[in-house]
Structure 1
Amino acid sequence: MTDAQQLKLYATHPHPCSYFADREAKTIFIDPEAKISGPVYSELSRRGFRRSGNHLYRPDCDACKACIASRVPVTLFRPSRTQRRVEKRNNDLVAHILSAPNADAYPLYEKYINGRHRDGDMYPPSKDQFDSFLGLGTEDTQYVHFYLGDALVAVAVTDVLNDGLSAIYTFYDPEYPQRSLGVYGILWQIARCHDLALPYLYLGYWIRDCQKMRYKTDYKPIELLMSDRWLRLT
């Protein structure tokens, strides 16, 4: 078992930022050959690291600190009126928790990227990209498949930590905009934390000036990791 203090860290060269066209980004990541135990992964999440495929990483930009790790303290969370409507609108969905994505997951992912993220760095989608990004889970990764009747309409990829769930990625059928399936995926994971008696849902990086990443503060209260301390915003 590797201790978090003993892990080797690597830094990327500056590269184009995924969120701001006029900025460069730099990332530090954990040695991908290191054996990361569940407790160490949980500790790294508390320190602001995220998982993408088999990489654990954290932004380390020289001139920008816009990416701020966020998490929801689930016992304090109170859904807004809009969020309660989303829950009600989707109470006919059935969730299946699997240890790997099923055969319907990639076609749904491809449809989602083509329909919602043609301007992003995951376009065009490919099966290799899907496998390396979402298929390489940990032993504690769960793939929550949401069904409307026999139709798969959303998949939420989530990692189980010692103190919460880490919402890795949610993709869904863009033909159901009225259902707000992305919102529902987060609300479902908050409820799942309650069921498992886990105190936090880790939501990834909140970026105030990026519309795609600003939504995390819609889930209140939210905690943001600033100057190595989790600060609660209500």
Structure 2
Amino acid sequence: MMNQPINSPQFFLTAPSDCPYLEGQSERKVFTHLVGEKARDLNDLLTQGGFRRSQNIAYRPACETCRACISVRILASEFEITRSMRRNRAANRDLVSTEYHAEPSSEQYRLFRRYLDSRHKSGGMADMSIGDYAMMVEDSHVDSRIIEYRLRNEGDGVQEQPTGELAAVALTDRMGDGLSMVYSFFNPELSERSLGTYMILDHIARAQALGLPHVYLGYWVKGSRKMEYKTRFLPQEHLMMQGWQRYEP
């Protein structure tokens, strides 16, 4: 029997379950653990290979009969903002974004709970407790950040931290070649602001400022309405059998 080197990751396969995106399909995932001193490098490598991170797990679809989930990354240095995106940015100019180390708060959890109850009441995360949320944020061996988006209050910019109402939150990994948006949520009562779009635009600007070429958006599923927004941020690349390919709408 061969001994596996201690730094070589072990991969596992989940049992089949109902697909959350395409009716009538089942899904399986291949996954490994992101722990120890090699976790950052492994996360970079796996993300470039189409994996996503959840806590200290990296996973990607391994479905037997379907290849609909496609990894998407925006080419930040070439990004071309559209007229509607400029309007979105202007409409949210009263927001203040602040980046922190990945530490959860009860205020974040209250917003997270409102978001789930409004948008994903029957989803797999619907029963998450405050302890589960804390683990989602804290259980990371990679370079993870929390970005808070708050409505601007008088005095913001003078005080050390903004004090306005929390409107949105993004959990983000900083990698060697880009930013990976792990999870984001927002106040559902502010839906007219299109805060999901605004957070992606903000991450593109952050990647540009850091000199990082990519913003990873996770999976796009053709035919899933909830995923359609991801293909609006151009130019972008999709991970295909031949590697990362420029997407042509």
Q: Please give the range of the TM-score, normalised by the shorter of the 2 chains.
A: over 0.9
The one of 112, 115, 120 equivalent to 1:117 is 120
**What secondary structure sits across from 2:189 in the alignment?**
coil
Give the Cα separation in 2 of the matches to 1:173 and 1:209. Answer: 26
CA contact (8 A) 1:7 1:31 kept: yes
Q: Which moved more, 1:73-82 or 1:27-36?
A: 27-36
Partners of 1:47 and 1:228 within 8 A in 2: no
1:184-221 deviation per Cα after TM superposition (whole angstroms, max 9, x unaligned)? 01110010001110000000001011111222101111
In the aligned structure 2, how far is the partner of 1:68 from the partner of 1:152? 32
Percent identity reads 36
Once the two structures are TM-superposed, the CA of residue 92 in structure 1 deviates from its matched residue by 1.2
Q: CA deviation at 1:124?
A: 3.8
Larger Rg: 2
2:130 to 94, 117, 127: 127
Q: Distance in 2 between matches of 1:211 and 1:202?
A: 19
Q: Which residue of 1 aligns with 2:172?
A: 158
For normalisation by structure 2, the TM-score amounts to 0.87
Q: How far apart, CA to CA, are the structure 1 residues paired with 2:136 and 2:26?
A: 22
C-alpha displacement at 1:27, in angstroms?
A: 0.4
**How far off its partner does 1:18 sit?**
1.6
SS of 2:77's partner is coil
> Aligned to 1:16, which of 1, 13, 18?
18
Q: Does 1:137 align with 2:151?
A: no
Residue 84 (structure 1) aligned to one of 83, 86, 89: 86
Are 1:114 and 1:124, in contact at CA under 8 Å, matched by a contact in 2?
A: no
Cα RMSD for the two superposed structures: 1.8
Partner Cα separation in structure 1 for residue 246 and residue 208 of structure 2: 19
Structure 1 match to 2:237: 223
TM-score, length basis structure 1 = 0.92
Query: In structure 1, what is the equivalent of residue 71 of structure 2?
Result: 69
2:104–2:133 Cα contact (<8 Å) kept: no
Q: How many residues align?
A: 231
Contact 2:39–2:142 (Cα < 8 Å) also in 1: no
The 3-state SS of whatever aligns with 1:176 is helix
Alpha-carbon spacing, 1:19–1:35, altered in 2? closer, same or farther (3 Å): farther
Q: Following the alignment from structure 2 to structure 1, what is the Cα–Cα distance between the partners of residues 194 and 57?
A: 29
Cα distance in structure 2, aligned partners of 1:38 and 1:137? 10
The 2-side partners of 1:138 and 1:40 are apart by 10
- SS in structure 2 of the partner of residue 129 of structure 1: helix
Aligned partner of residue 21 in structure 2, secondary structure: coil
- Decide whether aligned partners of structure 1 residues 139 and 188 sit closer, same or farther in structure 2, where only a CA change above 3 A counts: same
Provide the rounded CA distance (Å) in 2 between the counterparts of 1:64 and 1:212. Answer: 18
User: Do structure 1's residue 206 and structure 2's residue 206 form an aligned pair?
Assistant: no
CA shift, 1:103, in A, is 3.0
- 1:130-165 CA distance string (max 9 Å, x none): 233334234410100111031011001110000000
- Which piece of structure 1 moves more, 165-174 or 135-144? 135-144
Report if aligned partners of 1:113, 1:124 keep a CA contact under 8 Å in 2.
Answer: no
Alignment deviations for residues 32-55 of structure 1 (CA, whole Å, 9 cap, x no partner): 556543222111111001001221
Verify: 1:96 aligned to 2:98, yes or no: yes
Match of 1:108 among 106, 111, 133: 111
